[in-house]
Structure 1
Amino acid sequence: MSTKFEQAIALIDEKNSKDQNQEIIDGVSYPKELVYSRRMTDCLLNFKSDASEALQIAARAQHICRWEIPRKDYPMDKPGYMSWRNELKKMHVGLAGDILKQVGYDEEFIARVQFLISKKSFKKDADSQTLEDVVCLVFLQYYFEDFASKHSDEKLIDIVKKTWNKMSETGHKKALELSYSDKSLNLIKQALA
C-alpha cells in the first residue's frame, strides 16, 4: 500500500512524463519537466532534509505540465511574460489540487500546497522562502550555463541580481557552493559586487 504522499508524487511524475520536450542526460533522453521536478525534489531535500510533505509536493508540482501553456503564445515583452507566468501558476495550482484531492488529502493541506506553489508570500512564509530558494538553486545549478550562452552579459547580471534578491541568506550560501564555469562565476561576482 503506497501512502497518499507517494501516490501524489507518482501522479505528478505521470503527468510530467508526458512532456514531449526532451532533455538529454548522459546520452539518454527524458521528458524535460519530469527531469525538472526530480531536480526540485533532490535540491529541496539537500537544502532542507526535514521539508514538510506540503513543501515536497509543492516543489515536485512547481512546473507540472508547464509545456501546455507555451511562452510563444504570449507577447514577447514584460507584460506578456507576466501574463504567461500567472496563467502557468493558475494551471499548476489547479492540477496539484486535483491530484491531492484524488489521493485523499484534506482541503487544508491542499490549500497549503496551492499557496506554496503560487509563491505569493515568499519573504514572509518560511516554506515559501525555502521553495523560492530551491527554484533559484535549481536554475543556477542546472540551467544558468545554457541560459548564459543565449544572452548578453548585461542581461545575465540583471537576472542574477533579481535571482539573488529572491533568496535567503542560507540560499545565498548554498548558491556560492555550486560549481560554475569561470565565465558564469565571473558574471555572478559582477552581479553581487
Structure 2
Amino acid sequence: MTPDPPAQRPQLEKAIALIDEVNAQDPTKVPTDSGSEPYRLAYSRWLTEWVKRLDPKASDELLILARGKSIESWQLSLIKRDDYAPNTPGMRQWEMDRKKWLANRLLAVVKEAGYDEATQTLIENIMMGKNLPDPRDVRKYDLIGNLGMVDFKKLQAVNMMQTLDDAEALLFLEKNFEEMFNRMPADEVAAVCKRELSRLSQNGIVTVLKQRWSPVQQRLLQKVLPVPGKFASIMMDVEGVSAASTHPGDWRYANFDYE
C-alpha cells in the first residue's frame, strides 16, 4: 500500500517536529541560504530531502530515520573513548554505546509521537544494525525466512539502509565536493570521495552521474565510484522484476558501464 503524503500523516509530522526541536539546540552553526542554522537541524533536513528524491514513496520509518539518525549527536562527545579499554574490544564497545545512545534518543521521540512497537523495533534495528545484513554484502539466503519464504520486513529494512547510504553519499557530494575539488589536491579529493561514496548502490551511482559536473570532476568521480553491489539482482530474484525496478537498484542498469 502506498503511504499517504507526509503532509497527511499527523504522527510523522509530530515526530519530525520533535526531532527538529531537539536539533535546533545544536550549538554548532552552519551557513545556509537563510543565513545560519544549527548544524544537525540543517543536515537532517538536507538528508530528508535527498531521501524523498530517491524514494518519493518513503515510509514513515525511513523519513524518521533520515530526520533523526543524528538527533542530538553533539552529546556523543560525553561518551569518551578514554573511558573504555585501549584495545579493539574497547573500541567496539565504545562505538556500540554511541549507537545505542542515538537509537534510544530517537526511539524516545518515536514513542512520544505515538508510533507502535513494530515501528519502534524497525527503527531500532536499523539504527543499531541489529539482525540485518549489510546492503553491500547481502546474499539471497539472508532475506529468506521460515519455510523458505521471503522475509519482507527484513527486505524493507535493508532497502531503507541502502536508501540512507545513498542519500548520505549524495548529500556529501552536494555540500562538499565542489569546495574540496577547488581547495585540495586531486589525489586527496579522490581518497575522500572513494571513502564517502563506497556504499552507493546502482541507483545511487546513476544519480551521481546525472548531476552536473565539469569534465574534470566527472572523470575523477568515475574513478572513485564503487562497483555496484548485488542487492538489485537479489531483489529481482526474491520479489520479481517489478520490485527490482525500485530503489536501491534498477534491473535496467544491471550492465551499466559507469567507467
The interval holding the TM-score normalised by the smaller chain is: 0.7 to 0.9
Residues 179-190 of structure 1 correspond to what in structure 2 (within 5 A)? 179-180=212-213, 184-190=217-223
Unaligned runs of 5+ in 1: none
Is residue 74 of structure 2 the alignment partner of residue 67 of structure 1? yes
Counterpart secondary structure, 1:69: helix
Per-residue deviation, 1:105: 1.2
**Rounded Cα–Cα distance in structure 2 between residues aligned with 1:27 and 1:44:** 22
Residues 128-167 of structure 1 correspond to what in structure 2 (within 5 A)? 128-146=161-179, 153-167=186-200
Per-residue deviation, 1:148: 5.4
**Rounded Cα–Cα distance in structure 2 between residues aligned with 1:147 and 1:84:** 31
Counterpart pick for 1:96 among 92, 106, 110: 106
Amino acid at match of 2:221: I
Per-residue deviation, 1:151: 5.8
Further displaced range: 15-24 or 89-98: 89-98
Amino acid at match of 2:223: Q
Counterpart secondary structure, 1:165: coil
Per-residue deviation, 1:34: 0.4
Between the aligned residues of both structures, percent identity stands at: 27
Task: Say if 1:176 and 1:69 are closer, same or farther in 2 by CA, change over 3 A.
Answer: same
Per-residue deviation, 1:176: 1.7
1:115 maps to 125
- Higher relative CO (Cα under 8 Å, sequence separation at least 6) belongs to 1
Unaligned runs of 5+ in 2: 1-8, 83-87, 139-157, 226-258
Counterpart secondary structure, 1:94: helix
Task: Say if 1:58 and 1:155 are closer, same or farther in 2 by CA, change over 3 A.
Answer: same
CA contact (8 A) 1:122 1:132 kept: no
Per-residue deviation, 1:152: 5.2
Task: Say if 1:182 and 1:33 are closer, same or farther in 2 by CA, change over 3 A.
Answer: farther
Per-residue deviation, 1:108: 1.3
TM-score, with length taken from structure 1: 0.81
CA contact (8 A) 1:59 1:117 kept: no
> Per-residue displacement from partner, 1:123-158 (whole Å, max 9, x unpaired)?
141111111111111111113344556765434323
User: How many residue pairs were aligned?
Assistant: 190
Amino acid at match of 1:95: R
CA RMSD of aligned residues (A): 3.2
User: Larger Rg: 1 or 2?
Assistant: 2
TM-score, with length taken from structure 2: 0.62
Per-residue deviation, 1:11: 0.5
Amino acid at match of 2:117: E
